Structure 1
Amino acid sequence: MSEQKSALVTGANKGIGYEIAAGLGALGYSVGVGARDRTRREAAVEKLRAGGVDAFGVPLDVTDDRSVTGAADLVERRTGRLDALVNNAGIAGPLGPNWAQDPTAIDVGDLRTVVETNVIGVIRVTNAMLPLLRRSPSPRIVNVSSSVASLTRQADPDIEVGPIMSVYAPSKSFLNAVTVQYARQLADTAVLINAACPGFVATDFNGFHGPRTPEQGAATAIRLATLPDDGPTGGFFEDDGVIPW
């Protein structure tokens, strides 16, 4: 088994996911670029390799059992273990004007689709990769969340939290809750699992309206993916520290 550390980043072909992959690669990790789209995946791998990263493509649809099983098999053949898993792939669902999602007009089919990717997909990938993570002396899992997952902030009328996002925001609150359950279950192991908020980043996810760059948005996830053994677990973090939620 190689002594080089390895990581898998889902949704890594662009935006924040790509920058997380680039950041871990710059730290010496062999990085699996998880993505559904073959053309975009291969382009991202080529770009990362051109920048000196030991990158490899991982065909991965987080909503598909067979795809996730195949991804785990590929990572095992390539690296033998996994030191960091970053569950970055996510979707917002249909957005109204100014990205709003009216709770009184939710299409439950849209809600199911978002939860399937943002929550169930994370569980599916995490459970498939856990055997490989357990082979690492210092396994780390990072679930990319959002500040809109914070019930504390959302319920405070004095805090500006942006538009009502009644599909996307609850899916990330759900993801945070799942993160805590994993932390409890894995408390007696070396696995540390946390949720990361990248901030309001300019990507195609929001029409490139955010004030932060994808590289800035990747910083917290990279930090959590490389925590020391005495680092936190079951937490929710942004650049400035813990997010109350």
Structure 2
Amino acid sequence: MNEDAGSRTVALVTGANKGIGRAVAEELAGRGMTVLIGARDRRRGEEAAAALREAGGDVHALVLDVTDPATVQEAAKRVEESHGRLDVLVNNAGITGSGQVAPMDAVDQIPSSVDLEMVRAVFATNVFGVIAVTNAMLPLLRRSPAARIVNVSSHAGSLTLTSDPDGPFSALLPSAAYTPSKAALNALTVQYANELRKDGVLVNAVAPGFVDTDSNAHTGHLTPAQAAAVVVRLATLGEDGPTAGFFSEEGPLPW
């Protein structure tokens, strides 16, 4: 797109100061959108936004901690004051609960011995945070002629894939925190899609794959830019695009 500043598509990406979120923000900005980088840390958000502006993007930082209702409401207020609407929401912010390890290899997530506080913390970000941000931004999204919501999930959120004893996940440790949180996010995606279908808002979940990020100590084999491609595709769907779906770069995934 090459709209002028007043008519640019406005996108918000949560957890976008690094990793997949930053790559998504960069690609959306490269398509001519005004992009808001949601970040818990003001300095890191502003540094990321400044770097993307230097590359030519119309990118701005927005303090947003998805677990803090005050910052969520303040962020929605700022978007309304600055832009009057929101066209794209990418709910990317998420945590593994196990620090810098692949979450499904984490001993501390085994169901029979998991710390319940860890489970609560993971759901607070990966599920409840998505509800908080989506609901705060919905009045602005409803002002868009073609609103899109993309929830960044994981292959681990597929009950079909994770329950297959002969599948690629069978050798990994069971997870009582991260994996169930992504399954819950998938279910939530369908419910939002069902509610918002009549308004023309398309809502989908995406599994970007095993990506080289801080959350897995950079053991992933995909670059953030590669992972961002499917997120951006769902964020820029045409009016005949799918809703209530779960996708990877290869296509639809089983629930």
Could you tell me which residue of structure 2 aligns to residue 113 of structure 1? 121
Counting only pairs closer than 5 Å after superposition, residues 60-71 of structure 1 correspond to structure 2 as 60-71=64-75
1:153-180 deviation line (CA, Å, top 9, x unaligned):
0111111124432210000000000010
Which of 4, 9, 16 aligns to 1:12? It is 16
Partner SS state of residue 98, structure 2? coil
Provide the rounded CA distance (Å) in 2 between the counterparts of 1:11 and 1:204. Answer: 12
Query: Which of 34, 42, 45 does residue 38 from structure 1 map onto?
Result: 42
Secondary structure of 2:149's aligned partner: strand
What TM-score do the two structures reach when normalised by structure 2? 0.93
Alignment of 1:188-227 (within 5 A): 188-227=198-237
- One of 130, 135, 143 as aligned partner of 2:143: 135
Aligned partners of 1:2 and 1:80 also within 8 Å: no
> Which of 150, 153, 156 is the equivalent residue of 2:158?
150
State the Cα deviation string for residues 86-107 of structure 1 (Å, max 9, x = none). 0000001026794342111111
Aligned-residue CA RMSD (Å): 1.3
* Matched residue SS, 1:187: helix
Tell me the distance in 2 between the aligned counterparts of 1:190 and 1:6: 17
Amino acid at match of 1:142: V
The separation in 2 between residues aligned to 1:4 and 1:144, in whole angstroms, is 24
Number of residue pairs aligned between Structure 1 and Structure 2: 245
Matched residue SS, 1:219: helix
**Offset, 1:27:** 0.5
In 2, Cα distance between the equivalents of 1:29 and 1:164?
40
Query: Which structure 1 segments of 5+ residues have no match?
Result: none
**Pairing of 1:35-184 with structure 2 (within 5 A):** 35-94=39-98, 98-100=105-107, 101-161=109-169, 162-184=172-194
**Identity among equivalent pairs (%):** 53
How far apart are 1:186 and its partner, in Å? 1.0
Q: Distance in 2 between matches of 1:180 and 1:70?
A: 27
Instruction: State the alpha-carbon separation in 2 of the partners of residues 137 and 205 from structure 1.
Output: 35
1:231 maps to: 241
